[in-house]
Amino acid sequence: MTTVFVSHPQDKLAHYFGDRAIVALKSLAQVRFNPGSAELSPTQLAALASDCDVIISYRQTPGDEALFVALPALRAFVRCAIDIRNIDVAAASRHGVLVTQASAGFIVSVSEWVVGVMIDLSRHISVSAAQYHAGQNANALMGRELRGSTLGVIGYGQISRYLCDIALALGMRVVVSDPYIPTGRAEVAQVSLPSLLQQSDYVVCLAAATEATECLMDAAAFAAMQPGAYFINAARGNLVDEDALLAALDAKTIAGCAMDVGRAPDQMPSPRLAAHSRVVATPHIGGLTPPAIEHQAMETVAQVAELLAGRIPVGAVNAAQATRWQRAFGVQAP
């Protein structure tokens, strides 16, 4: 019988995989789990999954060449997320291991998080709550309505499109900067990044993390923003020069910031930025809702089912090079 190893730490399994997915997976294969509450190194994972056919990977579980060498029986490394930067796909291909990724199940949840922090920043909700929690009288600060404000969205992927619809429904003006994807919508103006930064009251970063977008938001970008504008990062910490962001906050070049990601381990906000008085930070929870998590977990189970049926699953990124899986099920390369 096929054996699947789920690398999620025990204390993260319910939050990031869930009972329904576990039951469904057990109906397909013999399932083994990470026995501890720590993320596994490649050496630890190789020891625990020595005879497994499939690994279902937790958020930061690395899939490197040493792992694929150490696991000659491994046929597939299945990522329970959309971001596969923790996997050396070229190495997996060299060793004939199939790599898959899940689709975005967090479009709604991340978009709602963005709207929530825009309101929080605009109405000083966290600031007031912190003053009351400290036993102080909160200052009644003037707020800003979203209606009539300009939302600037960097990147026009699935989350951005959904967020733009919400913003338009709230009466916001929307501009988008994406050099690769046209909006195709008259009500969503497509502009250059410098233009977006100059005219937006809220700059929301939703671009993909690539070599080209490393430190996309640097000192020049923050200097181009309006002094009363807010910067919101719901993408990846790699897109932000954190020294430049901290300097902009200290100099009040921008009004404030919200972040759900950063350069700390596990894509968490960096503590030095999260502690800033004009920052609203959350621990990478934008996509942490039951529907969002279940979408990706159940898609992962569906991918395993397709693999066992000898079919290329949706989300496969190197099917042509997956020779171990092809030999096991008599599948010809696509």
Q: Which of 282, 240, 262 is nearest to 116 (CA)?
A: 282
User: Do 274 and 134 share a structural domain?
Assistant: yes
Residues 310 and 212 in one domain: no
Same domain, 45 and 141: no
**pLDDT, tens digit, for every residue of 258-309?**
999 999 988 899 999 999 999 999 999 999 999 999 999 999 999 999 999 9
Residues 317 and 222 in one domain: no
In order of 3, 16, 55, 195, the CA distances from 33 in angstroms are 11, 13, 10, 50
- Six-digit token string for 221: 């970008």
d(CA 38, CA 204): 33
**Amino acid 1: pLDDT:** 78
pTM for this prediction? 0.89
CATH classification at residue 124 = 3.40.50.720
- Domain of 50 in residue numbering reads as 3-104+290-329
| Residue 299 within any structural domain of the chain | yes
Q: Which amino acid is at 222?
A: F
In a domain, 84, yes or no: yes
- The answer to whether residue 49 is domain-embedded is yes
242 shares its domain with 160: yes
Instruction: Decide which of 245, 264, 281 is a domain's last residue.
Output: 281
126 lies in a domain?
yes
| DSSP bridge partners of 159 | none
Place of tokens 């099917």: 319
pLDDT by residue, tens only, the chain of 334 residues: 799 999 999 999 998 999 999 999 999 999 999 999 988 999 999 999 999 999 999 988 899 999 999 999 999 999 998 889 889 999 999 999 999 999 989 999 999 999 999 999 999 999 999 999 999 999 999 999 999 999 999 999 999 999 999 999 999 999 999 999 999 999 999 999 999 999 999 999 999 988 899 999 999 999 999 999 999 999 999 999 999 999 999 999 999 999 999 999 888 999 999 999 999 999 999 999 999 999 999 999 999 999 999 899 999 999 999 999 888 877 666 6
Same domain for 80 and 223, yes or no, is: no
Residues 258 and 301 occupy one common structural domain: no
Judge if 127 and 257 occupy the same domain.
yes
Are 219 and 134 found together in one domain?
yes
Residues 99 and 118 in one domain: no
Q: Is residue 334 part of a domain?
A: no
Distances in Å between the Cα of 227 and the Cα atoms of 46, 114, 115, 195, 313 are 51, 20, 20, 15, 48
The reply to whether 74 falls in a domain is yes
Instruction: Report if residue 225 sits inside a domain.
Output: yes
Verify that 99 and 167 share a domain, yes or no: no
Say yes or no: 144 and 232 in one domain: yes
Pick the closest to residue 54 from 325, 319, 314 (CA basis).
Answer: 325
CA distances 215 to 19, 21, 184, 207, 267, Å, are 38, 37, 28, 11, 15
If one counts the domains in the chain, the total is: 2
* Residue 137 CB contacts under 8 Å (≥ 6 apart), including other chains: 131
